[in-house]
């Protein structure tokens, strides 16, 4: 096909070549009918395929476990299965390219997209990324590995400069991208919003050309994150092939003019257009003349895979023997996450699931409602819950709500994310206003809190009385990808069963970086001590108390970082009160990362369930009752307190950043390497996770060879039921002329064993496993001498140790 593509690109006029280098709309490139070139379409990932709809609503899709849950499986083969299944989802949405996977490193415990990433460790992240990409691309769907590079925080993410030395970049933050290119042959890469060492990544020639193409041999497409391209000649000359989304802001006529002015060569444009055609050819988009259509393809095999993968990623942090449950007669089901399906994080990764099941519904299906007693206890919402009533929305083609509406529609729920086709296509997406009207009927007497936040300007009334103002008083905050204000709230006394009319008026405002508008308002009764007392009473009368706590996609979301890692609201107090009332208390956590656990020692068991996709309740019940093994092991270290994590005690310049710069002062000492260096005992180390059986490691042998070293370890299931475990192999270097971590993870294996089974597991440690990056030489260096090889089930307990002599050598980039 190379000759065909070369002929085709040369048949294009300059203007046609340029047209392929920016989107036609939010999700597609323009077709070129003259030469029968089809339309390339993309869709958001990575835990599904949302399609071309808004972030809210749209055609339903399968919701798979989030990245940190896949990371906790330590299973590249399972990641490949998931990638292949998501490729089928991408096709059901009429798309050719998935904007996935997310392979940024979990540098801190507060990153808003921590849930979307696999791990704190570059080698684990790399292996899972390769599996996921291979699965996607085996079905003819392009992966778009993201966000390249240095996007490890959501604070000022569209403008901040991540200042990282080259050694740290090569050894930690670029490592998964390198594997995606060299080992998986990814067909696309997405540049990040941020600057890297002062230069926006979308126009960073060192990153996009020197490293990605010259050093690694990448031959695919580099696209911008949405609205992440800010210039014409600098981006295309640096190596950015595709500006997204469309319609173009920086290319089109501006790029043609830049060519004519000599700022960009015609050959550069041809090279970029050829890359687009190559991607279209690889995905079948080049000859795809199928009319665009999206469908909800709810496959039983996808449901089964999601359920199995959800359990495979769950980590049993603590168990005094109470799990698996043996069908207790009375269960108290407590907590704000019990009757809500927490299936995914927030931001561009969210989608409209085919369906979802809550823990309560899964438990009720198994045991019957009569065996369960529910008490919420407290809430954990970041924003007031949506009013789930029909909302009439009148749109105006001006910013002053003047005249007759140009479009009226009825929507479900009190939120909207507006990007294109606003007001039925009758409004300019950047200049319009609207009035949203609904009725709200409280289900109990009391004080109710209303909340409102918008990417735009808005005000809200209840029964005609002004209540919330984000119009004259609007100030920027951390909602709607940092384009919105922080929620404004006000309290009002309401009477059960007595409806009130709620009206919100909205108008657009000039965006700061991303051209989006959105609004959200809701209401909730204030909970207090009486509600915790009800939970305590339920727990005291039960054989077992199941407490479902954690966060949600409101907290774990693109566009902001957490302020701390304590459970939101009164959840810590709820857990402490319930455990005091019933020592047989099992805590089920659903978060996108570590949390502090001041109540840990009082619990009978703790299960970290993450956001496991649409089968959340079923997968949790499977693990609680022993139908499935808690197959997960932590892919990120849990500190005892937030201050212990790699960025917790740093100078503000190192996190969250000062004056538009964030310095990665810890260098290569990320994750478990940081805790080793600091001598700090974490709450749970990397790799931690209990099973329903027990395992032992023995007989480690390390043999040097011309390609590094070979390691073999015997793994034995010493328990009475089948299960899985993950032996880890670490390498320590005391010879290098630079400071290196005490140990670095260099090998792991997911091992499934029957009761009593023994197996010898082999690990290959290539020369790179012993190397460090010498920025002065621009090469990987293995310092000759003795290396320590350690093995165990987690980074905090490594019972097997051996020494191996490795010869000095210099490796290519």
Active site residues: 225
What pairing do the DSSP bridges indicate for beta strands 97-99 and 195-196?
A: unpaired
The strand ranges marked E within 208-306 are: 221-223
Question: DSSP labels for 154-199?
Answer: -TTTTT-EEE--HHHIIIIISHHHHHHHHTT--SEEEE-SSEETTE
Question: DSSP labels for 133-148?
Answer: HHHHHHTT-EEEEEEE
User: Considering only CA atoms, which of 152, 123, 564, 621 is closest in space to residue 367?
Assistant: 621
- Count CA within 13 A, CB hemisphere, residue 508: 24
Distance CA 560, CA 568 (A): 15
The helix (run of H) or strand (run of E) holding residue 581 is: helix 571-581
Using DSSP's 3-state secondary structure scheme, residue 767 falls into: helix
Phi, psi dihedral angles at 739 (to 5 degrees):
-70, 125
Q: How many CB atoms lie within 10 A of CB 766?
A: 12
CA dihedral 666, 744, 629, 566 (to 10 degrees): -10
Q: Counting Cβ atoms within 10 Å, is residue 536 exposed (0-12), middle (13-18) or buried (19+)?
A: buried
Query: b vs e for 469-486, b when ≥16 Cβ sit within 10 Å of the residue's Cβ?
Result: ebbeebeebbbbbbbbbb
What pairing do the DSSP bridges indicate for beta strands 708-717 and 390-396?
A: unpaired
Question: 27 is written with which tokens?
Answer: 């999700």
Distance CA 565, CA 636 (A): 14
Query: b vs e for 114-142, b when ≥16 Cβ sit within 10 Å of the residue's Cβ?
Result: bbbbbbbbbbbbbbbbbbbbbbbbeeebb
Using DSSP's 3-state secondary structure scheme, residue 510 falls into: coil
Using DSSP's 3-state secondary structure scheme, residue 509 falls into: coil
Using DSSP's 3-state secondary structure scheme, residue 556 falls into: coil
Distance CA 332, CA 310 (A): 23
Q: How far is CA 592 from the centre of its chain?
A: 8
Distances (CA, A) of 382 to 240, 274, 418, 479: 37, 46, 21, 11
Distances (CA, A) of 283 to 33, 131, 461: 18, 18, 50
């Amino acid at each position: 096909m190379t000759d065909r593509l070369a002929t085709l690109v040369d048949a294009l006029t300059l203007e046609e070549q340029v047209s392929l280098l920016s989107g036609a709309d939010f999700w597609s490139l323009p077709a070129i009918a003259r030469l029968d070139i089809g339309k390339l379409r993309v869709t958001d990932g990575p835990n599904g395929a949302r399609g071309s709809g808004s972030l809210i609503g749209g055609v339903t899709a399968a919701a798979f476990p989030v990245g940190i849950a896949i990371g906790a499986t330590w299973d590249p083969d399972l990641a490949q299965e998931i990638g292949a299944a998501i490729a089928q989802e991408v096709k059901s949405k009429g798309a050719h390219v998935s904007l996935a996977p997310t392979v940024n490193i979990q540098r801190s415990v507060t990153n808003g997209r921590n849930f979307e990433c696999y791990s704190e460790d570059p080698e684990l992240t790399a292996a899972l990324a390769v599996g996921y990409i291979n699965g996607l691309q085996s079905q003819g769907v392009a992966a778009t590995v993201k966000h390249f590079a240095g996007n490890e925080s959501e604070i000022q993410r569209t403008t901040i400069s991540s200042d990282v030395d080259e050694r740290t970049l090569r050894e930690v933050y670029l490592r998964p991208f390198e594997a995606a290119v060299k080992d998986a042959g990814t067909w696309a890469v997405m540049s990040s919003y941020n600057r890297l060492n002062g230069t926006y990544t979308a126009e960073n020639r060192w990153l996009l050309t020197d490293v990605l193409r010259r050093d690694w041999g990448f031959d695919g497409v580099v696209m911008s994150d949405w609205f992440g391209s800010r210039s014409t000649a600098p981006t295309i000359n640096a190596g950015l092939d595709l500006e997204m989304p469309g319609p173009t802001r920086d290319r089109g006529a501006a790029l043609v003019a830049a060519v004519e002015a000599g700022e960009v060569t015609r050959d550069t444009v041809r090279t970029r257009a050829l890359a687009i055609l190559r991607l279209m050819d690889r995905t079948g988009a080049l000859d795809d003349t199928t009319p665009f259509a999206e469908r909800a393809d709810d496959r039983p095999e996808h449901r089964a895979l999601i359920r199995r993968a959800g359990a495979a990623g769950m980590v049993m942090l603590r168990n005094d023997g109470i799990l698996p449950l043996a069908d207790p007669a009375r269960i108290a089901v407590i907590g704000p996450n019990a009757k809500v399906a927490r299936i995914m994080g927030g931001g561009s990764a969210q989608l409209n699931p085919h369906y979802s099941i809550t823990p309560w519904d899964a438990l009720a299906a198994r045991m019957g409602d009569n065996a369960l007693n529910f008490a919420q206890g407290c809430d954990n919402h970041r924003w007031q819950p949506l009013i789930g009533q029909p909302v009439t929305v009148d749109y105006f083609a001006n910013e002053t709500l003047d005249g007759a509406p140009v479009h009226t529609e009825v929507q479900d729920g009190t939120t909207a994310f507006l990007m294109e086709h606003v007001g039925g296509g009758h409004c300019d997406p950047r200049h319009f206003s609207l009035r949203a009207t609904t009725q709200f009927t409280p289900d109990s007497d009391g004080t109710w809190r209303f909340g409102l936040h918008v990417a735009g300007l808005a005000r809200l009334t209840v029964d005609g009385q002004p209540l919330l103002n984000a119009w004259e008083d609007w100030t920027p905050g951390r909602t709607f990808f940092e384009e919105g204000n922080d929620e404004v709230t006000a309290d009002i006394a309401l009477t059960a069963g007595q409806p009130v009319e709620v009206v919100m008026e909205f108008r657009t405002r000039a965006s700061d970086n991303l051209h989006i508008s959105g609004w959200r308002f809701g209401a909730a009764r204030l909970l207090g001590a009486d509600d915790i007392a009800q939970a305590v009473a339920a727990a005291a009368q039960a054989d077992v108390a199941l407490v479902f706590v954690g966060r949600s996609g409101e907290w774990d979301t693109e566009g902001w970082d957490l302020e701390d890692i304590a459970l939101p609201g009164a959840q810590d107090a709820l857990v402490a009160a319930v455990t005091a009332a019933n020592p047989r208390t099992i805590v089920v956590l659903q978060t996108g990362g570590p949390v502090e656990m001041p109540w840990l020692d009082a619990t009978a068991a703790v299960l970290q369930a993450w956001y496991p996709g649409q089968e959340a309740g079923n997968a949790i019940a499977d693990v609680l009752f022993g139908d499935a093994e808690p197959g997960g092991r932590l892919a990120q270290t849990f500190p005892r307190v937030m201050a212990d994590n790699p960025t917790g005690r740093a100078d503000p310049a190192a996190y969250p950043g000062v004056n538009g710069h964030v310095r990665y002062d810890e260098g290569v000492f990320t994750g478990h390497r940081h805790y080793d260096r600091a001598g700090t005992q974490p709450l749970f180390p990397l790799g931690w996770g209990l099973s329903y059986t027990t395992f032992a490691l023995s007989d480690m042998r390390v043999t040097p060879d011309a390609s590094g070293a070979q390691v073999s370890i015997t793994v034995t299931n010493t328990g009475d039921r089948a299960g899985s475990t993950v032996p880890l192999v670490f390498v320590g270097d005391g010879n290098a002329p630079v400071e290196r971590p005490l140990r670095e993870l260099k090998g792991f294996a997911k091992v499934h064993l029957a009761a009593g089974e023994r197996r010898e597991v082999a690990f290959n440690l290539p020369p790179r496993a012993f190397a460090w990056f010498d920025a002065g030489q621009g090469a990987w260096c293995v310092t000759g001498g003795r290396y320590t090889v350690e093995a165990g089930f987690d980074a905090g307990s490594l019972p097997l140790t051996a020494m191996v002599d490795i010869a000095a050598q210099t490796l290519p980039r």
